[in-house]
Amino acid sequence: MTGKYAVPLRRLYIRLLLAVSIPLILVSTTLLPMLHVHMETRIDSLHAEAKAVLKVGQEALTRDINESLNYALAIAEMPALRRYLDAQHASLLTEPHYSLSELAQLSNFLDTLISHYPRYTKLVLIDNQGYEVLRAPQSAETGPRVAANQHAKTDYFIEASKLLPRDLYISPPGHNLQYELFGDDVIPVVNVSTPIFSATGERQGVVLLSLNWNYLTTALYQSMRLDQRADAVLVDAQGRWLLNSATTLTLGAVNFGGSFASLAPRYWQAMQQRNEGNATVDNHLLRFQTEDIRTQSYRSLAGNIFSEPSHYPWKLGVVLPQPSWRTLLDEETIVLWFLLLTYAVAVAFGIFWAISGQRQRQLRQAAQRHAIEVSDLYENAPCGYHSLDKNGRVVKMNRTELNWLGYSADEVIDRIDYRELITPETRHQFDQAFENVLQHQKGSAECSLRTRSGEQRHVMIQASAYHRNERFVHSRATVFDLTERKQLEEKLRAQAMTDPLTGVFNRRYLQSQATIEMARARRHNQPIALITIDIDHFKQINDDYGHDAGDEVLKNFTRVVAELLRQEDLLCRVGGEEFAILLPNTTLTQATQVAERIRQTVALNAVNITEASLEKTLWLTASLGVTALLNNEKSLKAALKRADIGLYQAKEGGRNRVIVNSSL
Ligand SMILES: Nc1nc2c(ncn2[C@@H]2O[C@H](COP(=O)(O)OP(=O)(O)OP(=O)(O)O)[C@@H](O)[C@H]2O)c(=O)[nH]1
């Protein structure tokens, strides 16, 4: 990557980073609080759900146990049972009062009663000595039966034997001896026992009612209507699991009687700290409360309920998964899609912004470069540019023209009228052209500009009008500097008209100028004369002193003659050492006088030359012919001929003389 592109690319990367991160941040800061509120609402509803589920469970447990206890009490208070026990008691003393058929009836009745309620596994009638008197169902022969006289050692018998009427003893669920085999499954049971008293208040024995704990806890599950995500918890005071053996999602595999405290210590710890409340454990909400079946809410018709104190109170709870962002998005896919779409749109917008920004930047830079180039072209063009408002005031001028004029932009723009820069001689042309431009035409003029230093620049101005909404805004002019060309032309023209050795005009110029002067003389009816001059013996000078000396003599001669003439007189070199003078507004007499003065002055002026490093002085003479131009003459030819005849005669006459030839 070259350095040229490194910076723009880095800038693009930064813009892309911003374009992605800023929308993400903006969308997040907008959406996340909404989602947070949504989440809190779900958590609140989860709390409400947990509370409701727990209440239902607690009511179901209370109701089922309550019914079971009342059932035990009802059986204990059955008159038939009492009578039977009375009969049993009497028979031990004397003879039985209770017939065998009555016993069979009672047994069948209890059998039917227990068989129809799967909540109970057995009913056992025990006498005061701990002997089993009656059992229902009679077919419950499965599992290790407590020996007939062994009830005396059981907690339910011992504890119930101490109780008052209507008091109940409830064994903790699932103690070894209380296990009963029920089909192929070992099921936990709770033994409920209550004393039986005769009508006279004598203690007659104990009724044992074993509750199918599985049945009760299954009913608890069902009443709580827990789905697969949720778990019910019922543990005793030591943290032993009191529900069915089960595998739960939250708590793992747990068996009835297993140690919940060691299986789920964090839950157990949370439950130990308070009697009831909520706790969040491992992203799950645990709601729990204490349950004690010995309390009034359970005992209903019973007097007091006794049990193993170390087992109480129980803790009943429900565990529900806390809603997480993941579950929220899993469950509410529309929210997920909305989020993804919002982020995607935001990021797409950001990327579009970054790329279009980059593109705009490149276009802006290109436009700037272009503007600089155009400006550079405008300012430094080889020609001048300017714009004028409708009054001729300068509103714009490029550097080239400013440099020509010697002004700064501040001194010109909006300050001066362009006409001020134009010489009075050429202002008319400019005004004409500018008027054309104002009339929506093109205008051009060749003018002279006066620069700050007083020099003149000859220029060609070509202008047109700039309109906006068909209204004149300003003129746009291109200015070409013709000064150099003009100077060159003049130089060439001068060279074409001038003799290079002496600097005086040549024959061609004499002829062209003579035509003008002759016309003017005619117009003004003025005389005009011509003198021709030839240096005498000039060849001898060349021969004696060399060609350079001859040139020097020619220049000297010209200088001397020119000084004797008026400004309007035209001295020309028409041949090697031949000269002619056109004298406007001069009569023949005056011309003759001029010629004579020339002859005398030349003759009196010595010429110093250097030959072989030695200074030499030469004396010259010249012969002159004079004539007057005639009014009707159109060219100089005839006059030259006349003057030459005069000159020839002067030579012939001995040289150094003036001969006037006025004849035709
Ligand atoms: N040094 C120099 N000599 C020139 C130039 N033009 C012409 N001559 C010379 O001028 C001489 C003219 O000589 P002639 O025409 O014979 O006449 P002359 O010697 O002046 O004699 P007369 O006119 O009869 O008095 C020639 O030798 C030319 O070579 C010039 O530009 N420079």
CATH of the domain at 482: 3.30.450.20
> Does residue 20 sit within a domain?
no
pLDDT reported for residue 381: 92
* 510 and 545 together in one domain: yes
For residues 567 and 2, give the distance between their C-alpha atoms in angstroms, rounded to a whole number: 75
548-579 pLDDT, tens digit each = 989 999 999 999 999 999 999 999 999 999 99
Nearest-atom index, ligand 1, CA of 546: 1
* 99 and 206 together in one domain: yes
Kindly give the distance from the C-alpha atom of residue 649 to the centroid of ligand 1, in angstroms, as a whole number: 18
Q: Across all residues in the chain, what is the average pLDDT?
A: 86
Kindly give the distance from the C-alpha atom of residue 419 to the centroid of ligand 1, in angstroms, as a whole number: 56
Least confident of 35-49, 85-99, 184-198: 85-99
Crossing angle for the helix pair 3-76 and 213-224, nearest 10 degrees? 130
Residue 144 has pLDDT above 50, yes or no: no
Q: Where among 486, 513, 531 does a domain terminate?
A: 486
| Choice between 557 and 328, residue whose per-residue pLDDT is larger | 557
577 is catalytic: yes
* 282 and 403 together in one domain: no
* 505 and 591 together in one domain: yes
> Does residue 9 sit within a domain?
no
Please name the residue whose Cα sits nearest to atom 21 of ligand 1.
537
Please name the residue whose Cα sits nearest to atom 10 of ligand 1.
539
- Look up the domain containing 409 and give its range: 380-486
Nearest-atom index, ligand 1, CA of 536: 25
At 620, which CATH number? 3.30.70.270
> What residues pair up with 532 in beta bridges, in sequence order?
580, 625
Nearest-atom index, ligand 1, CA of 543: 27
Q: Running DSSP on this structure, what letter comes out for residue 633?
A: -
Other CB atoms within a 10 A radius of the CB of residue 236 amount to 21
What's the total number of domains in the chain? 3
Please name the residue whose Cα sits nearest to atom 11 of ligand 1.
539
Kindly give the distance from the C-alpha atom of residue 539 to the centroid of ligand 1, in angstroms, as a whole number: 4
* 502 and 614 together in one domain: yes
> Does residue 40 sit within a domain?
no
> Does residue 175 sit within a domain?
yes
Least confident of 326-330, 374-378, 438-442, 658-662: 326-330
* 181 and 272 together in one domain: yes
Least confident of 141-150, 169-178, 427-436, 440-449: 141-150
* 476 and 584 together in one domain: no
| Span 49-73, average pLDDT | 88
Least confident of 202-206, 221-225, 598-602: 221-225
Please name the residue whose Cα sits nearest to atom 2 of ligand 1.
550
Which pairs count as long-range contacts for 478-481, CB under 8 Å and 24+ apart, including other chains? Answer: 478/383, 478/384, 478/385, 479/383, 479/384, 479/385, 479/386, 479/401, 479/404, 480/383, 480/384, 481/383, 481/384, 481/404, 481/457
Please name the residue whose Cα sits nearest to atom 12 of ligand 1.
539
Which residue is catalytic, options 563, 577, 596, 611? 577
| Span 78-107, average pLDDT | 69
Nearest-atom index, ligand 1, CA of 501: 31
Range from 17-26, 138-147, 231-240, 320-329 that averages highest in pLDDT: 231-240
Whole-number percent of the chain with pLDDT over 90: 44
* 458 and 535 together in one domain: no
Please name the residue whose Cα sits nearest to atom 18 of ligand 1.
537
pLDDT reported for residue 2: 46
> Per-residue DSSP letters for 58-123?
HHHHHHHHHHHHHHHHHHHT-HHHHHHHHHHHHHHHS---S-HHHHHHHHHHHHHHHHT-TTEEEE
pLDDT reported for residue 161: 93
Mutate to test the pocket of ligand 1, among 502, 535, 537, 542 (most ligand atoms within 8 A of CB): 542
Residue 403 has pLDDT above 90, yes or no: yes
Contact 249, 276 (CB under 8 A): no
Kindly give the distance from the C-alpha atom of residue 577 to the centroid of ligand 1, in angstroms, as a whole number: 6
pLDDT reported for residue 245: 60
Please name the residue whose Cα sits nearest to atom 9 of ligand 1.
539
Mutate to test the pocket of ligand 1, among 557, 558, 577, 656 (most ligand atoms within 8 A of CB): 577
Residue 186 has pLDDT above 70, yes or no: no
Residue 430 has pLDDT above 50, yes or no: yes
> What residues pair up with 241 in beta bridges, in sequence order?
235
Range from 105-114, 360-369, 591-600 that averages highest in pLDDT: 591-600
Q: Is the dihedral of CA 7, 9, 12, 14 positive or negative?
A: negative
> Does residue 109 sit within a domain?
yes
| Choice between 353 and 502, residue whose per-residue pLDDT is larger | 502
pLDDT reported for residue 159: 92
* 100 and 232 together in one domain: yes
* 451 and 542 together in one domain: no
* 476 and 517 together in one domain: no
Q: Quick one: pLDDT band at residue 300, thresholds 50, 70, 90?
A: confident
> Does residue 12 sit within a domain?
no
Kindly give the distance from the C-alpha atom of residue 565 to the centroid of ligand 1, in angstroms, as a whole number: 24
Residues with C-beta less than 6 Å from any ligand 1 atom: 501, 534-540, 542, 547, 550-551, 554, 576-577, 651, 655
For residues 441 and 383, give the distance between their C-alpha atoms in angstroms, rounded to a whole number: 21
Q: pTM higher than 0.80, yes or no?
A: no
Residue 143 CB-half CA count within 13 A: 18
Q: What's the per-residue H, E or C state across 406-439?
A: CCCHHHHCCCCEHHHHECHHHHHHHHHHHHHHHC
Whether ipTM tops 0.85, in short, is yes
